[in-house]
Structures are given as C-alpha cells and as structure tokens.
Amino acid sequence: MASDFTVDRNSSKWVLGDNGYLKEYTTDQPAIEFNADGSYKGVLVEPQSVNEALQSEDLDNATYWTLANATIATDTETDPKGGTNSFLLSETVANGAHFIFTATSARKPIGSGETWTCSWFVKKGDGANAPDIVQISHATGAFGSSQHANFDISVGGGTSGTVTDSTGGTAGIRYYGNGWYRISFTATSTSADNLIAYLIFCNNNPTATRFTSYAGQTDANVFIWGAQLEESPIATSYIPTTTAAVTRVKDDIYLTSASSLIGQTEGTLFIEVDWQVTDGANQVLLALSDGTTDNRILIERNNSSSELRMILEANNSVEVFQGESYSTYSGIQKFAMAYAQNDVELYRNGSSVSTNTSADLSSLATLNEIDFANRDLGVGAGNQANMWIRAVALFTTRLSDAECEALTTL
C-alpha cells in the first residue's frame, strides 16, 4: 500500500504491533494494527483527535496529576510500549474515595453538549489485595454526579475484559496483551466546566456507585499508564502527550491517475473492514471519482439514515442512493458494490442487500481516483471512516451475483 498509494497523515500514530506492544508509525505511513494474539486486524483509519490529558506517561508528576487517598510510584513493570515506564497506583488506609485525577492547573475548560472519552491503560497490580475492578469517571460539574463505568481487569493474559457497570455514558475495554487493558468511558457534558480524567478504586465492587467511600487497605494496587482525554465518541489510537495537548491528524489514503484500474462502464468494488463504533458523521469506506462530487461511485456509512449505502453519481445526477441498516454491524464485515448499465447491487457478508435496475452509466465521466476511508480528494477529503481496513479489491467487470456472494462470504 505505501508504495502504490499516497498515505497523507502529517503526524505519527501508535497502534498495537504484531509483537504485543504499541508500535509507532511515523508521518505518512499506513498504521497496520494487530490483535493481542498477533493476528492481523487491519489498517486503522481514523478522524483527527486531540489528547487533552497532559503528561500522559508521567503520572507521578504532581503539577499535572493529583492523588486522593492514594499513592503512586514508578515501577519496572513492562508498559504497553515495551519499556519500563509504568506506574503503580495504590490505595492508602484512609476513609474516603481513592483515585488519581487531573490536577487543577492541567484542566481544560469545556462547554455543554460536548462528547468526551476518557481512557487509561491498566493492569492488575501485584499486591496481595490487588483489585479486579476499577472505575472511570468525568468531572461532576459538566457530566453529573452519577456517571461512571466499572471494569473487570482480572483476566490477566486473556483476550477480553468486562464492563461490569455503566451509568450516564458508554464504556469500552480492549485487551492489549501482557496483562494490559485499555478501558474507556464516554459521556456528553450538560454544562460548562473543566475537563477531568479520573481513575478510581471502588472497593473491588463490580456494581460500585461513583466514588465509593471506604476505608482502603494495604497492598491494593493497579498498574497504570497512557491517560487520554479526547472529544470523541470512542477511544481512538493512543496519543502521547507531555506539557501540551497533542493532535493526531486524520488518515487520507488515495491513488490518483488510476483510470486504468477502474471499470468505467462496469465494475465491482470490494472492501473488508473490522467495524467499530463510529461518530455522528457520514463515513466513506471506499470511493472512486474524477476528483469531484459530480462523478463518483462509493460505499458509504450514512449517519442520517443509519444505512450502509451504495452511491453512484453521473454528471452531478444521483443515479443510486440506497442501502441497508447498519445497526447490527460489528466486527469483520465484507462488502461489494457491483455496477453496470441499469444494474447496480450491494452485497454484504455473502448476500445481496440492495439493488437498482435503472442506473444510467452512459454519462459517467472518466474516473481516475481511488480513495480509502474518505471521499473525493479533489474537493477536500472528508467523511472520514473510523475502522480497520483489512482488504480492498477493484474489478473492471461487473462480477456475477454468485461471484459477489462468494467474495463477501465471511
């Protein structure tokens, strides 16, 4: 991909490598990610995001992080990058809630109606009373007094943890290998306030309410690393910070002067993705165009209709604009869009899901651009997808129904 296509991302990106540790892909490299067991996950494409949690890997820095009934110390436990920069957060024997949170001087003011995600890398501690359950929350003033999520991180060396309880938002957990999980909580603010990241002990209670107060105990600890606060409906790939917020720009992957690879009067698009929770914008998975919105063929996740759509436009006239609901999509999905005169069809996971028998391709101009996970570079790449692209293929003929079904069968 890197030799044939242009990868335009003017910042580095950290994703899970095939050795079980986070790997940095530098500017303009496709971010190829793997699962914790070393199996291929796909090229991660994402919208732009900003990590507002300062000193994300310097969690014992009192200028940026504050403790309540807890202590923190550097530790030699291998961190998610494969180094020895992890931290051990421990309860103290004192009545009250026990947690780490953003220091006053490092908080960002936010407004009402903003959706923020807080995420941490965590691993069960080595103490005799190390808890299985930890909690994440946001600031009370902006998000309310009950919003939180609890996570079971006890399956050391396993492949999945568990969200045991969630109130006032949505929670996620992903295993990163070597006992490390990345846990996240997303909520929408209801008033203006300062943004705060919290990681909270909860007396090892899977259904604990927010900021449970209890006596605390010795040898109750958890390894932590890599804090992130971002205005996003999910936890995006990890963005390291020091003394200032850091932006990771979106991924644009495209090939121009590609007319010989594209069927101009008939053809088939194929794409395999690892679907994930996405934001509230339209998202293009795969697009062919002449660099404008007048002439194009594409597969799109349409937010307003909650559909996966096939779209064909010729001379700025929409010939096809239809699809099927994506509400049940999760994990690996295979899509194909086959097109010819008066014959356009969308396939998913081995079945035809939408057809059109009146599309006129005779006025379609010459297509010469291929865009992955975004639209029409010539008019400003946008409608960024947020998922893993696992495979892509273009055919210059309209494959048969049987061929498309076989191609998209999981």
Instruction: Give the C-alpha separation, 320 to 82, whole Å.
Output: 49
Instruction: Give the C-alpha separation, 115 to 64, whole Å.
Output: 22
What residue spans of 296-397 are helical by DSSP H?
Answer: none
> How is residue 99 written in tokens?
């947690």
Determine phi and psi for 382, rounding to 5 degrees. -160, -165
Side chain identity, residue 383: N
- How many other CB atoms sit within 10 Å of the CB of residue 119? 28
pLDDT of residue 404: 98
Instruction: Give the C-alpha separation, 195 to 192, whole Å.
Output: 9
Task: Name the DSSP class of 375.
Answer: B
Domain limits of the chain? 50-247, 252-408
Spatial CB neighbours of 286, under 8 Å, sequence gap ≥ 6: 269, 271, 298, 299, 370, 371, 372, 373, 392
- How many other CB atoms sit within 10 Å of the CB of residue 193? 18
The residue among 168, 176, 201 whose CA lies nearest residue 16 is 176
pLDDT of residue 4: 82
Q: Which CATH class is domain 252-408?
A: mainly beta
Instruction: Give the C-alpha separation, 308 to 303, whole Å.
Output: 9
Instruction: Give the C-alpha separation, 115 to 138, whole Å.
Output: 11
Q: Are 195 and 207 in contact (CB under 8 A)?
A: no
Q: Are 64 and 54 in contact (CB under 8 A)?
A: yes
Block mean pLDDT (10 aa), the chain, length 410: 75 96 96 95 94 98 98 95 96 98 97 97 96 96 96 72 94 94 97 97 97 97 98 95 96 91 95 81 89 88 84 84 83 96 94 91 89 67 82 96 98
Instruction: Give the C-alpha separation, 323 to 347, whole Å.
Output: 10
The CA–CA distances, whole Å, from 301 to 139, 280, 380 equal: 33, 10, 18
Q: Which CATH class is domain 50-247?
A: mainly beta
